Structure 1
Amino acid sequence: MADTPLRAWLTIIGLGENGRDGLSPVALAELDEAEVVIGPPRHLALLGPLRAMAVEWPVPFADGVARLLALRGRRVAMLASGDPFWFGAGSSVIANLAPHEWLAHPQPSTFSLAAARLGWAVQDCACLGLHAAPLARLRPHLAPGQRVIALLRDGAAVADLAAYLVALGFGASTLCVLEALGGPRERVRCFEAQAFALGDVAHPVAVGIVVAGQGLALPLTPGRPDALFAADGQITKSAVRALTLAALAPRAGELLWDIGAGSGSVGIEWLLAHPANRAVAIEADPQRATRARGNAVALGVDRLRVITGRAPACLPDDPPPDAVFIGGGLSAALLDALWARLPAGTRLVANAVTLESEALLAAWHGRAGGSLLRIALADAAPLGTRHGWKARYPIVQWSVVR
C-alpha cells in the first residue's frame, strides 16, 4: 500500500492590500480551514473577522518563530506580505521545518507591483529590502541611469533616503514613492530627491529610484580608489589591492579571512565582488577595527564581520575559509598555525614589504610551492621644474593553494 503523504500543518499565505479579496480560491480554502491564523497586526486587520484564533506575530521577528513552532500539530495559516520568499519571512520560517510540513501561496511581490506601476522591467532593476537594513546598502547601485526598487520601513525612511542621496551627490535622482500598492489606499508620487517635501507617506511603502547626479559611482572592478576608504595609512593601496584580489580570485558564496585588515579594504572588495560572499576581518588595533566596520557600512557591505584581536589566537572556529589574505601581522607562527589548520584547497595570499617578511615568504615558497610576485610601482612626482619617477616600497606577494 502506498504511503499517504502527510498534510502540511502550516500554510504560508501571501497577503496583499486587498486582503481576503486578493486571495486565490485555494489560499482562501486553506485560510478558512485553519485553526490558528498568525501574522502581523496590519495583516490580521486586512482580513477582518476570522473563524480561527488570531495570534499576533511579536516583535522582534525571531520571537514569532518560536511561537509559531509551538503550534506544530494544529492547522495554522501564517500571513506574510506578497511573495513570502522575496525579502519576506518565508525562508526564515521553513528553515525550522521539514519539506512536508509547509506549503505556500504567494501573491505578486511589492517589487512586481512597483515595476508594473512604473513600467520598469524587474530584471533590469536592483531590488533591495531596506525596511530593516542600512540605507548604505544602496551604495554599490548608485550609478547614473541605474534603477532601484527599495522596500522601506516607513515615511520617515523615505525622507532619510532622499537626504542620503543628496549627501552623496545624487540629489538629482528621481524618487517614485509607492504607497500601499495593490489596495484602495494606493498612491504613487514622483519627485527629485533634492526636492523632497512629503510629510504624509503611508506604510507600507516602496521607492523606485532612477539614479542621477554627479556623485562618485563605485567602479565594478577591484582596486577601487583609496579615497573611498577611511584609513590612517594602513591600507593595501589601489593597484596592489587589484593584484591581491586577482590572486585571491573570489567566487560566489565564498568566505575570506582578511588578517591584519587595517582599513578593511581587501575584505570589503571581496564582498563587493558578489552579494553572497562573506568575509571576516581580523585586526589587532581597536581603532582600525572600528574604522574597517565603518568603511564596510559606508560602502554597502555591512555584512563584514570584524574581529578585534591578533591572529592566530583569535582565528574563527567555524566555518573554514575558502581564501586567506595576510596583509599585516605576518609571522612564522601565523603561517605555521594556518598551514596546520586550513583544509586542502584553501587559497592563501600574503603581501610583504620588509626584508624580513620577504625572507619568510621566500622560505615558505621553497617549502610549499605556489608563486612569488614582486610588485614594484613608481609614481610621477615633481623633480625640480620637471617630473621624475618616485618609487614606492616594493611588495612581494606569495600565492599558494593549501
Structure 2
Amino acid sequence: MSARNAAKITVIGWDGGALPARARAALAEATLVVGGARHLDALGLRADAGVDDSRVTITLGPLAPALAALAAHDGPAAVLASGDPGFFGVLRALTEAGLDPDRVVPATSSVATAFARAGVAWDDALVVSAHGSGDGRDLRRAANVCRAHAKVAVLTAPGAGPGRLAVELLHGGLGVQRILVVAQCLDNGADTEPVINRPNDFNSPPDNHRTSGNPEGPAGDQGRAVGVGVPVSAAERVEFLTLGDAAARDGFAEPNVVLCLDPRQVAVPGHGSLPQAAGGGRPDTRRAGGKRWLAGWPGACGGWALGEESFAHRDGQITKAEVRALVLARLAPRVGDLVWDLGAGSGSVGIECARLGAAVVAVEQDADACARLAENAEAHGVQVAVVRGRAPGVLTDLPWPDAVFVGGGGIDVVRGALEHRPTRVVVALAGVERVGEVARSLEADGRAVGGVLSQSSRMVPLPDGTHRFAALNPVYIVWGSAA
C-alpha cells in the first residue's frame, strides 16, 4: 500500500485538559502511537507502561523515523502533538510526507492560551518560531520581528528561550521598550488555576543595559518577577517581565511561550495606560465600527518609494524617490530582517524598510538630523532605533544586520559594514571616482557586485500650460550580495 493510504492516521492535539471522546476512541483503537515523551508520559502511553502490549509506541526525537514508521504501518495510528497540530505543528510534516490524516482533533494552541492568560487580544499579533538550525539565526530573526512590531508571540526552543530573547533585544543598548509575558507549562495537565504575576510598575526607563546572567540555565531556579516572585515549578504560570529581569533570570520552566509587547502601543493589563494612536505608516485594519478584518500585520499602506514631501528633511538632503525605489529593491527588506541605514539623514530609506516590516537601526552623527529622523519614524508609525554617532566606530556593538544601506561616510563605512557579514549591501554615491573603490571592496569580500547610474527627470509644468522634464542629480548605486 502507498504511504498515503496505508495507515488510518488520527492527529490529536493536547493542551493539558481532558481529551475529547473522539480522541480517546482513536487512541484506544490505534496499533501505532507516535508522540513526544512528555505527552506519552502524561497520558500513560509510553511503551514501558504495560497498558497494551499489542500497541507499538514511538517516542519522538528526530521526525524522519516516525514518518517512516507511519508510512509502513497498516492499520489505525495516532499522532500526539501540542495544542493545535496545524499551527506550527506536526500536521505540515505529515502532509508533506504524503501522510494525509483521516482526522485531526485540535486543542487550543499555546499561543491562544498565552494571550488569553495575559488578557490581551491577539488578532493583530505576529507569531514567530525560534525553532530551527540551532546556530542563532532563528533567534535573531525572532528578535528582529520583536524590534519592529508591537505585538509578537515567540514559540521558544532549547537555547532560544525567554532569557536569550531578552539578551538579544538588549543587544547594542538601543533602548528597546518591551514587556515580555512568559507563559510556562501551559499544557501541564494540572487541574489548578494558573499563577499569573501581573506587573506592579512598568513606567521605568527602557532597558538598555547588558546583563551577565545565564538566561538559559537549568529550569527550576528561582528568578525575580516584576510582580510577586514565584519559584519556577511545573505549575502553569504567567509572568510579566521587563527585558532586564528576563535576561537576568537563570531559567524558565518548559515548555514556554513568550509574548513580546510594546506598552506604548498595546494595552497591557496592569500597565495603566492605553495604546497610542498608530502613525500614518500603519494601515487601518478595522472596518467601520472598530471591527478588524485582517489578522496579523497588514503590511505598509500607500505604496513605497514615497515622495520627498513625506519626510521632514533639510535643504533637499534626502534620497530621492527614484533612487530609493532601486535601493529598496536591492536591500529587499522583509519581516525578520535587520537593516542598517548608515548616514541616515532624514531616515527615508530606513523608514521605508521599516514600513515593509523589517527592524531598522539608523546611524547618523548630526543631532538635528537624528531628531528629524525620530520624528519622521513616529509620523510613519514605525519603530526605528536611532543611533547618534560616526560609522564605522559606532557599529561595533550593534546587532548584526541582514542588509546595509550606506548613504554617506566614505569607503571606511562600507568596509566597516562588511565586517558584520550582511547578506546585502547597497551604497549610494554622488561622485563617479568612488564607484571603483566601492565595487572593488565588495568584490574582495566575495560578493556578486552590480551597479546602476540613476539619471531621472521629472515632469514639471511650464507657464504656458505645457510641460518639460527637469533632470535630477545623477546618483551611482552599487550593490553587493553574498554568494
Shorter-chain TM band? 0.5 to 0.7
Equivalent position SS for 1:305: strand
Q: Cα distance, 1:316 vs. partner?
A: 4.4
Q: CA contact under 8 A between 1:94 and 1:102: conserved in structure 2?
A: no
Aligned residues of 2:435 and 2:478 also touching (Cα < 8 A): no
Matches within 5 A, 1:1-400: 14=117, 29-31=191-193, 38-40=196-198, 57-60=199-202, 66=225, 70-72=229-231, 78=237, 89=240, 100-101=253-254, 129-130=266-267, 135-137=276-278, 139-142=280-283, 146-147=285-286, 174-176=288-290, 208=291, 219-232=301-314, 233-274=316-357, 277-301=358-382, 303-329=383-409, 331-339=410-418, 341-343=419-421, 346-361=423-438, 363-364=440-441, 370-382=449-461, 385=464, 386-400=466-480
Distance 1:273 1:16 in 2: 29
Following the alignment from structure 1 to structure 2, what is the Cα–Cα distance between the partners of residues 133 and 350? Answer: 41
Distance 1:255 1:382, change over 3 A: same
Whole-angstrom CA distance in 1 between matches of 2:393 and 2:331: 23
CA contact under 8 A between 1:282 and 1:308: conserved in structure 2? Answer: yes
DSSP 3-state at the match of 1:129: coil
Whether the 8 Å CA contact 1:218–1:224 is kept in 2: the answer is: no
Cα–Cα, structure 1 residues 140 and 379, in superposed 2: closer, same or farther, change >3 Å?
closer
Compared CA separation, residues 138 and 147, structure 1 to 2 (3 A)? farther
Q: Does the aligned pair in 1 maintain the 2:342–2:364 contact within 8 Å?
A: yes
Q: Distance in 2 between matches of 1:221 and 1:263?
A: 19
Deviation at 1:337, TM superposition (A): 2.5
**Against the structure 1 CA distance between its residues 348 and 16, is the aligned structure 2 distance closer, same or farther, given a 3 Å change threshold?**
closer
Q: Distance in 2 between matches of 1:355 and 1:252?
A: 34
Q: Is the 8 A contact 1:365 1:372 kept in 2?
A: no
The one-letter code of the counterpart of 2:201 is: V
Task: Report the AA paired with residue 324 of structure 1.
Answer: V
- Distance, in Å, in 1 between the alignment partners of 2:279 and 2:224 is 29
Instruction: Provide Cα deviations, 1:236-293, integer angstroms capped at 9, x if missing partner.
Output: 111211111001111320111100101111111111112xx21100011111111111
What is the total number of aligned residue pairs between the two structures? 270
Whole-Å Cα distance in 1 between the matches of residues 451 and 392 of structure 2?
A: 23
Q: Which secondary structure does the structure 2 equivalent of 1:267 belong to?
A: helix
Question: SS of the residue aligned with 2:117?
Answer: strand
**TM-fit CA distance, 1:388:** 2.5
Quote the offset at 1:371 in angstroms.
0.3
Structure 1 residue 390 displacement after superposition: 1.6
> How far apart in 2 are the matches of 1:359 and 1:101?
54
Which structure has greater helix proportion? 1
Q: Which digits, 9 at most, give the CA deviation of each residue in 1:314-346, with x for residues without a partner?
A: 1142421111101122x122223233x122x62
Q: How far, CA to CA, are the matches of 1:237 and 1:310 in structure 2?
A: 23
Shift of 1:133: 7.6
Does the 8 Å CA contact 2:455/2:472 hold for their aligned counterparts? yes
C-alpha spacing 1:98/1:5, structure 2 compared with 1 (3 Å): farther
Judged with a 3 Å threshold, the aligned counterparts in structure 2 of structure 1 residues 102 and 320 are, in CA distance, closer, same or farther, namely closer
| Shift, 1:358, TM fit | 3.7
Q: SS of the residue aligned with 1:295?
A: helix
Sort the Cα spacing of 1:320 and 1:136 in 2 relative to 1 into closer, same or farther, 3 A: same
Alpha-carbon spacing, 1:59–1:376, altered in 2? closer, same or farther (3 Å): same
**Residue 70 (structure 1) shift:** 3.9
Letter matched to residue 427 of structure 2? A
Q: Which amino acid aligns with 1:221?
A: G
Contact 2:415 2:441 in 1 (8 A): no
SS in structure 2 at match of 1:266: helix
Q: Structure 2: how far apart are the matches of 1:16 and 1:390?
A: 56
* Structure 2 residue aligned with 1:123: none
Mapped to 2, the partners of 1:332 and 1:102 lie a distance apart of 48
Identity %: 30
Given the two structures, how large is their TM-score scaled by the length of structure 2? 0.46
Q: Tell me the secondary structure at the aligned position of residue 426 of structure 2.
A: strand
**Rounded Cα–Cα distance in structure 1 between residues aligned with 2:432 and 2:405:** 19
8 Å CA contact 1:136–1:297 kept in 2: the answer is no
Residue 60 of structure 1 aligns to which amino acid in structure 2?
F
What is the alpha-carbon root mean square deviation over aligned residues? 4.4
Aligned twin of 1:85: none
Give the TM-score taking structure 1 as reference length: 0.55
Q: What is the DSSP-based 3-state SS (H/G/I as helix, E as strand, rest coil) of the residue aligned with 1:268?
A: helix
Do the aligned partners of residues 384 and 228 (structure 1) sit closer, same or farther apart at CA in structure 2, a change above 3 Å counting? Answer: closer
| Aligned residue identity for 2:325 | A
Distance in structure 2 (CA, Å) of the matches to 1:257 and 1:15: 34
